[in-house]
Every structure is written in C-alpha cells, then in structure tokens.
A = this chain, B = another copy of it.
Amino acid sequence: MQKGNQKFVVQKYGGSSVADAERLQNVATRVTKKVQDGYNVVVVVSAMGKTTDNLIKLAKQVTDQPDAREMDMLLTTGEQVSAALLAMALQAKGIRAKSLNGFQAKIKTTGNFTEAKIQAIDKKKILQLLTSHQVLVVTGFQGIADDDEITTLGRGGSDTSAVALAADLQFPCEIFSDVAGIYTTDPKLFPKAKKVKQITYDEMLELAASGAKVLHSRAVEIAKRFNISIYCGSSFSYEEGSFVVSEDLIIEKSVVSGLTVMDNQTQVIIHELPVDYGIVRKVFEKVATAGLNIDMISIINNNTHLEVSFTIIDEKKKHLESALKKVLEGLPKYRIEYITGFCKVSVVGVGMKSGIGVASDFFTALKNIPFRLVTTSEIKISCLIETEMKQAAVEALAKKFKL
C-alpha cells in the first residue's frame, strides 16, 4: 500500500515468534528490514510463548471459575509485555517505534468478555502516529468496550486484530508464524505436501474449518469482507510464503488446492425420530446453543421415521449426550448410536465449482478405502473414514490431485 512516497504494511507475529528475548530480537531484525525497504509498519504481537497458558494456570490456582471480565484484565497483560519489549528492541536498532495497547490504539469492541468482536479502530490516531514513528507495535487479541472495560477477542484473536487493522487502514497484511505458508495438506502427515502460492478466501475458510491451523477463520472472514490480501509466512526463514486473496486475483486456479484431516471424530446417529422437522430443528438449535461444533450432517427420511446423522469431536461426546437428552426427553421411541474411531478427510478447491469429475476422482482415489459418510459443499468434499485408513487416504488423494 502506497500513500505518497510511503509504503505501509501490517505484520503479525504469533506467540512462538516472540517466545523469548532472542526471538524478539529476530522479529525486530525482520521489522527493521521492512523499514529499510521503505515501509512504515504496524506490528501486531501475541503474548510471548506460554505466557497466556501460565496466566490461565495462575487464575485456576486462585479459583475454579474465574470471572470472564477479570480473565480479560489478566490475559491482556501478556500482549502488553511483548509489545513493550519489541518496541524496546526496535528502538535499540535505531527505529522510531512505539507500543500501543488495545485502549491506546482505541480498538473498540463489543462488551462480550473473552469473545468480543471488533467494532471500530481509531484510524486517525494510528495514521497520525505513523507520521512520526516508523513502527507501531500494537497488542493483538484485545480491545476496549464501553466504560473503559478491557476485552479479549477469543481464539485466533491476534490474527483478527491484524486483519481488522489492515482492513481499517487499507494496508496489506502479513501473518508470520512457525509455518512457512499454507500447505495443500499437513506436512507432518504427508511430507511431500506442497505449499500453495495463492489460495482464495473461501478455500482458506474451508481449510481453516477443516483443521488447518495457519490462520484463524475469523481473520479470513474479515479479510474477505474488506478484500484485504493476507500473506502467510514463517518468522524463522525468508522462504516465500502463501497469499490468501480474492478469487479474481488468481490467474490459474487448480481444481483442488488443499487437503485437510481432522482426527478423533465420532459419528452420532439418532435412529427412529418421528417425521417432524420441528424436532430436528430443536436438536440443532440445542447443539448450537451448547456451543457444540458438529459437521457432516445427513438426514434420511424413510417415510415412517427420520434418521439423523452427524459427526462431533470425541471429547465433546459427553457434553452432546446431555444436550440431546434435554431435547429428546419425552419422545416415545428413539435410539442414539455413537460410533468412534473415525477421522474426517477433506479436499478443498475453488476450481471444483467448474471442474468436472472431482467427486469421481475423489472416489476413484479412495477405491480400496471404505468410507462411512460423505458430504460436499460447493468447494469441498469431506469423507469420514476409519482412523487406521488415514495415511492411505491422504497419500491416495494427494497423489490423485497432485498436492
């Protein structure tokens, strides 16, 4: 982004990138290089390494049920520490730098403690400060609500802070972590996994929802809404990373751009529900208000009754059981079956929309691998398979789609 002769960028560094003094120095060096390349940089930082975990532990020592507001007061100190230290490190390199916490950067949020949403940012103050400072280091993950209350943005919060700042300032956004970009599939699972150069917002959203951890889906949603390109790269190397961009910026679309795996899946089948979609609606409402994430929903109507099936992560099974009990109580006849030992394998690609035969290729690749459930979206095919078949499925699909 260029304003007059000056170029601007938002960079975000995650917790492992600022875990200790040495890594902070490394980040300071990288930001300094960017300044030498002619940029003014807004840096968004997470808390150092395990800081947040340690603060949560401390709170748990004090009380089993810490108040959400006080948790936010507690946890926001983590980013303030890393922001101040990074500003010091930059100043030691001769950079005009200044740290800002959520209230100083005027990152206005809703009042939902521990899961606030960003409403507005004081662009004026940041642009004003950028006329006298080369770098502003802004605390990620946090903001300020009415009555000067301090809030946090929940999981993936620092990514969200960075993209929201970039959207508001209309700067490009670079997200640095310990992974060198976005891979077609998890390199730990499939060592030949390829890094993508470009990926669309929708593909990234499907990948993030399917278990890819490189970028939080909230951040991708904001980037999509405001049409901000995101660069994802490693803070530990200068290897070229990946761009998340709008579809029309991608010249050559590969049909399938990514493959993800989610482990520890349980299939839940509710047998012999009466043919009453009101009950089905209540089931999904209850599951949603209980905060349970379910996927791969299929409903079969055989005229005499409904059979509802979906997947959930194993550890939420107990929680789900009690939620379902409340909804289904009083029904004359139904039976719930829980089958564990599955994983969910998904392929994602915006090219599927126009690509012919992706589903056919998908099932051809899996020919010897039995699958239990299949669901599709416009740009994704997911199937539920037994965990012991995971490696074989990943290899077969990666080979078939040249990932």
A contact set with B: CB distance below 8 Å: 21, 24-25, 55, 58-59, 61-67, 69-71, 73-74, 76-78, 80-81, 83-85, 87-89, 91-92, 98-99, 101, 103-104, 148-150
Residues of B within 8 A of A73 (CB): 80, 83-84, 87, 99, 101
- Which of A69, A73, A80 gathers most chain B CB within 10 Å? A73
The CA of A255 and the CA of B314, in the complex, are separated in Å by 77
Q: Is the CB of B77 within 8 A of A59?
A: no
Known: A69-B98, A71-B88, A77-B80. 13 other contacts (CB 8 A): A21-B58, A59-B85, A59-B88, A62-B92, A63-B88, A63-B89, A66-B88, A67-B88, A73-B101, A74-B84, A74-B88, A101-B150, A104-B150
Q: How far is the CB of A111 from chain B (nearest CB, A)?
A: 14
- What are 27 A-B interface contacts by the 8 Å CB criterion? A21-B58, A21-B61, A25-B62, A55-B81, A59-B85, A59-B88, A62-B92, A63-B88, A63-B89, A63-B91, A63-B92, A64-B92, A69-B98, A71-B84, A73-B83, A73-B84, A73-B87, A73-B99, A73-B101, A74-B84, A74-B85, A76-B80, A77-B80, A103-B103, A103-B148, A104-B148, A104-B150
Question: A67-B91, A81-B55 are contacts. A62–B98 as well, Cβ < 8 Å?
Answer: no
Q: Which residue on B lies nearest to A69, using beta carbons? A: B98
